[in-house]
Amino acid sequence: MSKVLIVIGDAAEALDTMYPLFRVQEDGYEAVIAAPEVRTYHLVMHEIPPGWDVTREGPSYHLKSHIAFRDVNPDDYAGMFITGGRAPEYLRYDRDLMRITRHFFEHEKPVAVVCHGAEIVATANVIQGRRMATVPKCQFDVEICGATFVNEGCVRDGNMVSGRTWHDNHLYMREFMRMLREYVEHSLSHRR
């Protein structure tokens, strides 16, 4: 069974996280939750209420990680999913997560990024010259790191597919699952 690394931390957005978690399992992949430490993390719910200009955050589900970033051997994984919410604001300072992220891009393995997850790939310095979607408030992060912000629900550029928010789950996850399938099939054919 191929494994997919799912990156979370406290304040990861619940719908950004839970839909992809179940979606990769639905297609037979082992979902491995990676975080700064092995413990239970507090997910949050983000929404822009009618009449508001900014996102309101509320408590949501809890999710236990399986592995700490420092213990991840990225060679063991076929793909990586980077969730949104506020977690990426501080996860992007984790050196081991930066090592893992760079590995996936150097080896052209499938990576899906949603919402504030753009802050992680931007900090890892792997998006220069690429097109990517993210929540509009992360447009600056994407552009200052050399990428082109695209306000669409699913943007694929090479080994990365990105979406704006959980509202786009059905768009970019379809493409991510196709990318995983193609990567695994290609890897298996080269082992024979």
Query: Which amino acid would we find at residue 66?
Result: H
d(CA 57, CA 53) in angstroms, rounded, equals 13
107 assigned to active site: no
d(CA 106, CA 159) in angstroms, rounded, equals 10
Give, rounded to a whole angstrom, the gap between the first and last alpha carbons of the chain: 17
CA dihedral 107, 157, 27, 120 (to 10 degrees): 70
Three-state SS at 63: strand
Q: Which is catalytic among the residues 46, 62, 103, 116?
A: 116
131: exposed, middle or buried (Cβ count in 10 Å: 0-12, 13-18, 19+): middle
Three-state SS at 119: helix
Task: Name which of 169, 189, 185, 172 is nearest 15 in CA terms.
Answer: 169
d(CA 16, CA 44) in angstroms, rounded, equals 10
Q: Which residues form the catalytic set?
A: 116
